[in-house]
Chain A
Amino acid sequence: MSLAALLATTEPTNVWQWLNDSSERTVTGDIPTQAWTTLWHSVLAFVIAAAAAIPLAAVLAHFRKAEVLSTWLVNIGRVIPTVTIVAVFVIISLRNGYGFEPWPIVFALVLLALPPLYSNTYTAVRDASPEAVGAARAMGLTELQILRRVELPLATPLILAASRVAITQVVATEALAALFGGTGLGQYITFGIANRDIYEVQAGAVLVAGLAMSVDLVFWFVTRFLVPKPLRPAPANRRPIHRLRPVQPINRNTPSLGGTP
């Protein structure tokens, strides 16, 4: 914003005023557009990752193949910093003359979401009540029927929980696109820092965090709604401190947090 424009308008004195005053956003674009950009990047990336990871993991888990792949994915996904994944795609895109939007960021987000979705689905299907699976097999269901009718329904709570974690991280990471000149809610933050406009920065932060938490909440509702009561994972904090048998170190009902926020 030019100096004249700065002096001409009433300055916001806190975040809320900034958010309310739409004239502040003549450069960076209005909130709904930016929010929508972030959202559809995230949802697209999540859908691609889920469509790739979940069926593959489910089938492999049912046939008990490629067990190590699951652990490896989680380890690699955790160690490789998110920024670098985005950077790689940006480099590729630059070298080939593509624009920035939207593919580099979407691909990067897909790679971010893959490890937690894959590995949690794998674990969920693999550990789905072996007794029920055994009974189904004895009753004469085909392998695919067992997967569809027994293992997947039993694994659904965990898969939904993992999805919730994955998509929240994806939304949070989408803001990184702005660091590379992309659009989306992250732009408020980068612009604000560049122009030393603290309220824009704060507003951007609030919006990004807000969107991430809203998505988290929406998925929490979806999970509560879709999962029948008997299948809800037991809360970890009800266990007494000392038991006769040793406890598994990581509660299996909490999806492992892959990637970074």
Chain B
Amino acid sequence: MTARRKATYAVVLVALAAFGIWAANRVSGLSEDTQATNPLFRWEYLFTRERTPGELWGKTRQHLELTVVPVLIGIVLSSLLSALILRFGWLRSVVFTFAGVLYTIPSIALFAVLVTYYSNETAAITALTSYTLLILTRNFVAGIDAVPRAALDAADGLGMSRFQRLRKVEIPLALPVILTGIRIATVTVVGLVGISAVIQLGGLAIYIFDGFNRDYTTLMVLGTVATILLAVVLDIVLRGIEWLATPWARRRVAP
């Protein structure tokens, strides 16, 4: 790590620490009685109001549910689709065109139509799953395509069965691209969950609309920051998983 980078980290850490101390100080002085004419953000709402942590956690859970479930279903469906495409090459353009069209449909429209036939949750999950299909299938197929042919030939020649080759060579080498696809799909869905507010769901983004309707900017700010934070945290966590899963890609390449 260069000296410059160390200095940057040090400065950032000091700034964060200072902010933390100031914030703690500020928060400890809060009480429910403070009067404020509608400031941009009433800190009291976040720190002293009793119901807030529970509500916050409830909405986070809902947001996570609405993210994780579609992505998981999407992974299962995309794995199937990818396996079919790899087996029947002609399916490739069909599947990608179909998934592409699904992706183009505005989310708000898809939510709206589906909710007239199904319950809110089902509609949301169905719509969100369909958006993951294009991203995941594209990356799954590209990942398997990217495995070097020489490694596969060597695996065959050394005496691996088809299944062993899949397990030991193809999937591990396709994993980086696959994991990237899962990360992109997850982050995309987190963003889309907010739009499901139109059908009374919305996860953390519901704060935004609540606040808007009640002319209470504190809620809007809370919703905005919380949603962004959730998306960023998930992105970082998934990048971390990618990094952990691919030790060989981290090393420096020989000249």
Contacts and interface: CB of A to CB of B under 8 A. Distances in A.
Nearest to A199: B116
Nearest to B207: A87
Contacts of B34: none
A257 interface: yes
A204 B149 contact: no
A120 interface: no
23 contacts: A75-B235, A79-B231, A79-B235, A81-B194, A81-B205, A84-B228, A88-B224, A91-B224, A95-B40, A189-B109, A190-B198, A201-B113, A202-B116, A205-B113, A206-B113, A208-B106, A209-B109, A212-B109, A241-B89, A241-B144, A247-B146, A251-B142, A260-B195
B137 to A, nearest CB: 12
Given A205-B110, A241-B89, A242-B149, A87 B115 contact: no
Interface string A166-183: 001001110110011100
Contacts of B93: 235, 237
Contacts of A75: 235
Interface stretch (B16-24, B71-79, B184-192): B184-192
Interface in A186-220: 186, 189-190, 192-193, 198, 201-202, 204-206, 208-209, 212-213, 216
Given A205-B110, A242-B152, A243-B149, A80 B92 contact: no
Interface of A: 75, 78-84, 87-88, 90-91, 94-95, 168, 171-173, 175-176, 179-181, 186, 189-190, 192-193, 198, 201-202, 204-206, 208-209, 212-213, 216, 235, 237, 239-251, 257, 260-261
Most chain B CB atoms below 10 A, which of A173, A192, A257 = A257
Given A84-B208, A180-B212, A216 B104 contact: yes
B129 interface: no
A257 B231 contact: no
A206 B9 CA distance: 51
Contacts of B190: 81
Nearest to A243: B149
Nearest to B187: A79
B181 to A, nearest CB: 9
A201 B112 CA distance: 6
Contacts of A87: 205, 208, 212, 220, 223-224
A66 B171 CA distance: 35
Interface string B213-255: 0010100110110011001100100000000000000000000
A219 to B, nearest CB: 12
A80 B231 contact: yes
The 3 closest A-B pairs by CB, nearest first: A172-B106, A81-B191, A83-B194
A260 B188 contact: yes
Contacts of A261: 103-107, 131, 192
B192 to A, nearest CB: 5
Contacts of A257: 103, 135
